[in-house]
């Protein structure tokens, strides 16, 4: 019984940033729907959860930093 058995694999959790990594794209929910791309996942000292740096696709001057919890909340962002 090795790692080849997918039944024993766990979904990525907190320690693996829930599978979120640079290059993934998300669609913001709401009236101003935009596609955002993850640039970095950062762990800041003193913060409870990691944060992600997002750049709006098509406008590399438009960026923001949000918590990983907000990015994972489907009320705000959907995978693109």
The domain ranges of the chain are 20-79
Over the stretch 46-71, which tens digit does the pLDDT of each residue have?
878 889 999 999 998 999 999 999 99
Strand partners, 59: 56
More confident residue, 17 or 10: 17
- What pLDDT is stored for residue 32 in this prediction? 84
At 61, give phi and psi (nearest 5°). Answer: -95, -5
Q: Using the 8-state DSSP alphabet, how is residue 68 labeled?
A: H
- What pLDDT is stored for residue 1 in this prediction? 46
Distance CA 54, CA 50 (A): 13
- What pLDDT is stored for residue 79 in this prediction? 95
- Residue appearing with tokens 């438009």: 62
Q: Is the pLDDT of residue 7 over 90?
A: no
Q: Which fold has domain 20-79?
A: SH3 type barrels. (2.30.30)
């Amino acid at each position: 019984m090795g790692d080849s058995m997918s039944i024993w694999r766990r979904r990525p959790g907190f320690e693996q940033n829930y599978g979120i990594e640079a290059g993934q794209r998300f669609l913001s929910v709401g009236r101003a729907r935009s596609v955002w791309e993850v640039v970095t996942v950062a762990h800041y000292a003193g913060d409870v959860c990691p944060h992600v740096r997002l750049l709006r696709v098509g406008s590399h001057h438009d960026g923001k930093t949000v918590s990983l919890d907000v990015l994972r909340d489907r009320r705000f962002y959907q995978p693109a």
